[in-house]
Structure formats: structure tokens, C-alpha cells
Structure 1
Amino acid sequence: MDPNGSRSLLSKEHLIYTITVPLSTSIILANLLIIVGIAWNRQLHNTTNYFFLSLLVADMFTGVALPFIPLMGLNRDLSFSSCLLAHVFPNFLFLAFLFNLVMVHYERFVCIVDPLHYSNLWMHRHFPLALLVVWTPPLLFASLPAFGWNDWAGPDWTHCCESSQNLTLLSNCSVNRTICCSYRRVFTDAFIYLEVYGIVLPAILIIAAMTGHVLRITRGQMKDICRLHRAVDRGGQASDQEHRLNLRYTRCVVAVSLTFLACWVPYLIYMHVCVAFLISDSSWSSTAHIVMSCIGIGSMAVVPLVLGLANKQYTEPAFKLLQKFRDRWRRSAKRAEEVSL
């Protein structure tokens, strides 16, 4: 095997793990914190929070799969089944996370837009069906390459078993019954275009549209409240409460905007850069693209954490539990100190 190629592959894998492992660990721990908070507080055991719990579980799995998603851009010597699993399973977890995110936004959108019919939503009346909707289609779509929609019979896009100058490596690949695993073998161009522009991008636009509509409704309701206050006070000047409402709304808009810029924009840039490199048929495993893929996927996985950590109902039980453990640890340490004295 070419030592330079091997060192290059190892350095790229090391870079991916260096970026993604700390980020993945943080995502998993933060999701576990919110999950414990929901499970600990029985008042939060309702359908709305069950949807959010499903999103947290999907996000936690996405955190687990996060180090493996950028590895799809590298050409590795793997067996047929391992190659399929290394591409299909992370893709399924990512799509399940995205479907859960859309479902949570839609459920909260209906709660604000049409609160009178909120309890009659089909998602509330048929909760198991709603879970099937957010988990089964991603699994079916992500599994299509395993059922034949792939490019195994196409030209060898990769470099680890194709070089005529390295017959030893080619022989090793044959003896070990491995293939040069590349995302181009697993995912056809049509599959990638369909996923990006038929599923992922529309889902992001739907979430953005629902969020914008909720902000407009909130703005209109706030104006109605301000008019009522002015009518009661019989004055034309804005009261302190109106200023506080305006300030709260402004903070909400700023928070939503910053969340979109910090979490969604990096992923959108990464997604379109990937498609551009796919069209140009260029190598995409450079350092810049690895960093972009790690940051892009990781930033989008932070969105549920922003929604969860901003709600004290979710975090307060977990913090109380952690405080109890901390107090017990301090008491035990103090007793151990007294015994030693």
C-alpha cells in the first residue's frame, strides 16, 4: 500500500475525530440532560413533550453518528456490508432527526396558529402513527441503496483498489474480499439530488416559514395587547409594560435569527458545496471540506438543544438531580475527611 496515501487517509480520519468527538460528546450529554429532565417531571408527560422526546432521541443518535458522517467523503477499504452500513445507517439517523424536527415545529406551529383545534390534531389522536411517519420514511429512503439503487456496477470512482501501479494492494483487496468504499458507489447522483433538493432543503424551508409565521402572529398579538393597555390607561404614551413587551419580542427575534445563522447557515453552505463538488466531479476530501462537513452537521444537531435548554421546565429537574448528587458527594467527602482526622 502507498505509504503516502495511507498517511493521508489516517491524517484525515484523525482530523475528523478531533473535531467531531468533542462535539458529539457534548450533543449526547446535553440531550441526556434534557431527556432526564422530561422523564423526571411527571407534569411534562404529555403528547407534546413526547414528540420533543422523540426529537431528542433522534438528535442523540445523530450525535452518535456525527463522527461517521464526514467519513463518507473518504475512500476506505471495507467489505460490501460494512460499506453499506457505514453510509446507510448514518444517513437514516440524519433524516430521522430532520423529520422529527419538522414534526415538532409543525406541532408547535398549529398550537399557536389554531389553538382551539390543537387537541384534535391527528398527531395527538394517533401518536403511534405520528412516530411511524417520522421514523419509517427516513429508514425506507436511506435503505434504497441497499435494495439496488446504487452504483456498484459503475466505474470505480475511488483510488485504493484501482491503481495499476499498486498490484499488491489490488491483490489484498481481492483476498480480503473488500472493496474500495466510496459514497459514489453507495449513492447515485439522482439519489443525492433527490435527498438534498427533494427532502432536506424543503424541510429547512418549511421550518423557516413556520417560524417566520409564528413571529408575525406573535407581533400581531403583542400589538393587540398594547392597544388594550392604551385603551385602559386612556393615554397615547407607551407604558413601561409595552416597552417590556417590545423588548421581549426583539430579544425573541434576535435569538431566532442568531440560531438560524449559527445552526442552519453553516449546514446550508456545506450542503451546496457538496453538490457543487459532485457536479464538478472533484475530490471532496480536502481539509477544508472535512472541517465544513463536521461543522455543518454538528451545527444543525444543536437546534433541538437550543429549544430544550431554553425551557426551564426541561432543564430544572435535571439540574436539581445533579445538585443532589453534588450535595451527596460533598457530604461523603466531608465525612471521609472527618474520619481521617
Structure 2
Amino acid sequence: MTTSNHSSVTEFILEGLTNLPQLQLPLFLLFLGIYVVTVVGNLGMIILIAISSQLHSPMYYFLSHLSFIDLCYSSIITPKTLVHFVSEKNFISFLECMAQLYFFLSFAIAEGYLLTAMAYDHYVAICSPLLYNTFMSQKTCSIMMGMVYSLGLFGAIVHTTHMSMLSFCGSHIVSHYPSFFFIPLLTLSCSSTHINEILLFVIGGFNALAPTLAVLISYAFILSSILRIRSTEGRSKAFGTCSSHLMAVGIFFGSMTFMYFKPPSSNTMEQEKVSSVFYTTVIPMLNPLIYSLRNKNVKSTLRKAVGVYCILILNMHREPGIE
């Protein structure tokens, strides 16, 4: 810890997930494996959508941005966590802490609104299929993505700016998984956190409830339209279109609800750490797996891409012998 006249903390100590030495290496390998799968899955999804004309539609346009957001906020968190598993002293500077908080909030808030945009896309596709190309034009999709990122940046700027104005002159030990510092830092501040708590309640509540309500309303209309479809095949196809997104929405908003909206009396540090790990590390890995395993177009395109790659590799090995 570095102090200035005993009034300002410029470094924090992160306790991390566990203090047991025998668990450090297994956890390092586990998180490294999760991060590798996350990077390969999300980056692969972005490249696959970019190179395949079959996937150039609004649905996959949003999916590529979902993969980009997952890749970014996983990369903000996991590498630092991996370093903590192999370091004896886990320090983080105040500026680094604020930067990590800012970028994490930006992408986490943006993901909630992106899932809302994807729900609207499914609503238009199922409830107004004849007007789909009109409602979901390239310009409309670009505007929606601009709003998604703007809302994420706005929420992050407000929270991080007011957090940086607080004074930290007491304890400098953050007893939390090193991904989400917001609430733990509020408890360490020796200045008034009243404004921060109001902002957390108002802006945080809005960013949680608005997307959730929008998704629920969209799927209420979608379900109503699906139930009016007479053919079993038509219903099955409509449900198949929404199933991957429903799983992603359920995992994201479910974990967020568990983490931030459970009764205070039920909170324990171990539960907080586990839910934080799931929210920040596991979800970015699951999303590309959900969409790749449950989407026929993605699986078909992936098989074609792998086939072309294998043919190129075989041709490269045959060329020297032919010559």
C-alpha cells in the first residue's frame, strides 16, 4: 500500500478466490482453459460470420457483436486473474482498478442491451416476417448497435467518475474476486458514498430492469404468435429460431439477478465469488458454444470452413511430392 499523508490509498490488495496454495495451480489451469475456449469460440464466431455470405443477416450481425463484447470483457478480467494465481502479492493500482471497472461496466451494460436488440430482431422475424427487411435494415441495425454501445459507455462513465472521487484512507484489502470492484470499493471508502449508492440504485436498476422487461415483452408477443401457428413444423422452426437466444438471455439475466437482487441476509463472500466468476468468466465462454451447437446455419458454415481448411492443408502437403 502506498499512501500520501495517510489520506489516500493508491494501491489495493486483492484476496482473490482462495488463499490455499494447493489450489492455485489447478485454478490457474482451469481459468486458462476457460479463457482459451472463450477466445477461440468468440473470435472464431466473429471470423465465421464475416467470411460467410450465408450469415450476413441482422441476426448474425448482432451475434458477431455479442461475441466481440464477450471477448472484450473476458479479456479485461481473466488475464489479470491468471496473473493473481501465480503471483505472491496481488496488487492493483487505483488507476488500473478504475480503468478495469470502466471497461468492464461498459461491456457488461452493453451486453444487456444487445440481448434486448436481439430479442426485438426475433420479435420482428416471427411476428412481422413480411416487414422484416424493412424494419431490420442495415441502417436500423447500425443505429441500434450505436445505442447499445452508447448506453454502456454512459453508465460506465457515470459510475467510474463518481467512484474515482471517493477517498480511500482505511483498509486497502479487497475481499472479492478481482472482476467487479464496485460494491467492495464502496465499503472501503472513508468518504460519503450516498451519491454512488443512489446512482447504483437508479442507473444500475434501470440498466437491469429495462432490458429484462423489454425481453419479456418481446417474448410474450413471440409466444402469442407461435401459438397461433397451426403446423407443428412451423412452431418447431419458430421455437428453434429463439431457443439459442433464450438460453443466452436466461443465463445472463439469471446470473445477474442472483448476484445483485438476492436478499442481503443471504449474501456470503463465497457465494459472491462464485456468482462473480460465473458472470464474468463462464458466460463469455458459453455464448459461442450455445449458438454454434444449436444453430443449423452456424454448424453448416463451420463444417464447410473446416472442410476447406482441411483441403488446403492436404494440398500444401501434396505439392512438394508432385513437383
Check 1:325–1:146 CA distance in 2 against 1; reply closer, same or farther (3 A cut): same
Q: How far does residue 142 in structure 1 lie from its aligned partner after superposition?
A: 0.2
CA contact (8 A) 1:158 1:182 kept: no
**Where does the alignment leave 5 or more consecutive residues of structure 2 unmatched?**
2-11, 83-88, 175-182
Separation in structure 2 between the aligned mates of residue 106 and residue 117 of structure 1, nearest angstrom? 13
Whether 1:30 aligns to 2:38 is no
Whether 1:142 aligns to 2:150 is no
Whether 1:62 aligns to 2:73 is yes
Q: TM-score, normalised to structure 1's length?
A: 0.65
Any idea what SS the aligned residue of 1:95 has? Answer: helix
Q: How far does residue 148 in structure 1 lie from its aligned partner after superposition?
A: 3.5
Separation in structure 1 between the aligned mates of residue 29 and residue 143 of structure 2, nearest angstrom? 39
1:289: which partner in 2? Answer: 272
Separation in structure 2 between the aligned mates of residue 257 and residue 133 of structure 1, nearest angstrom? 22
Whether 1:313 aligns to 2:297 is yes
Any idea what SS the aligned residue of 1:152 has? Answer: coil
CA contact (8 A) 1:47 1:127 kept: yes
Separation in structure 2 between the aligned mates of residue 310 and residue 123 of structure 1, nearest angstrom? 25
Q: TM-score, normalised to structure 2's length?
A: 0.68
Any idea what SS the aligned residue of 2:150 has? Answer: helix
Whether 1:194 aligns to 2:182 is no
2:264: which partner in 1? Answer: 276
CA contact (8 A) 1:259 1:303 kept: yes
Separation in structure 2 between the aligned mates of residue 100 and residue 304 of structure 1, nearest angstrom? 15
2:62: which partner in 1? Answer: 51
- State percent identity of aligned pairs: 15
Q: Write the letter of the residue equivalent to 1:321.
A: A
CA contact (8 A) 1:31 1:60 kept: yes
CA contact (8 A) 1:263 1:299 kept: no
Q: How far does residue 94 in structure 1 lie from its aligned partner after superposition?
A: 1.2
Q: Number of matched residues? A: 287
Separation in structure 2 between the aligned mates of residue 308 and residue 62 of structure 1, nearest angstrom? 20
Counterparts of 1:1-341 in structure 2 under 5 Å? 9=16, 11=18, 14=24, 20-67=31-78, 77-121=91-135, 124-148=138-162, 150=164, 152-153=166-167, 156=170, 158-159=172-173, 183-184=185-186, 188-221=196-229, 223=230, 225=231, 242=232, 264-273=253-262, 276=264, 286-298=269-281, 300-301=283-284, 302-303=286-287, 305-329=289-313
Any idea what SS the aligned residue of 1:99 has? Answer: helix
Separation in structure 1 between the aligned mates of residue 235 and residue 140 of structure 2, nearest angstrom? 39
CA contact (8 A) 2:244 2:291 kept: no
CA contact (8 A) 2:13 2:90 kept: no
Deviations 1:97-152 (A, max 9, x none): 22222112112212222234333337644444322201112112101244335551
Query: RMSD value over aligned CA atoms?
Result: 4.3
Separation in structure 1 between the aligned mates of residue 211 and residue 205 of structure 2, nearest angstrom? 9
Check 1:92–1:263 CA distance in 2 against 1; reply closer, same or farther (3 A cut): closer
CA contact (8 A) 1:51 1:104 kept: yes
Check 1:18–1:143 CA distance in 2 against 1; reply closer, same or farther (3 A cut): farther
Separation in structure 1 between the aligned mates of residue 161 and residue 254 of structure 2, nearest angstrom? 33
Q: Write the letter of the residue equivalent to 1:97.
A: E
Check 1:328–1:144 CA distance in 2 against 1; reply closer, same or farther (3 A cut): same
**Where does the alignment leave 5 or more consecutive residues of structure 1 unmatched?**
161-180, 226-241
Q: How far does residue 299 in structure 1 lie from its aligned partner after superposition?
A: 5.0
Deviations 1:215-273 (A, max 9, x none): 3311211x3x4xxxxxxxxxxxxxxxx5x667778888988876666554344222334
Q: How far does residue 194 in structure 1 lie from its aligned partner after superposition?
A: 3.1
Q: How far does residue 84 in structure 1 lie from its aligned partner after superposition?
A: 0.8
Check 1:251–1:146 CA distance in 2 against 1; reply closer, same or farther (3 A cut): closer
Any idea what SS the aligned residue of 1:78 has? Answer: strand
Q: Name which one, 1 or 2, has greater alpha-carbon Rg.
A: 1
Any idea what SS the aligned residue of 1:148 has? Answer: helix
Any idea what SS the aligned residue of 2:145 has? Answer: helix
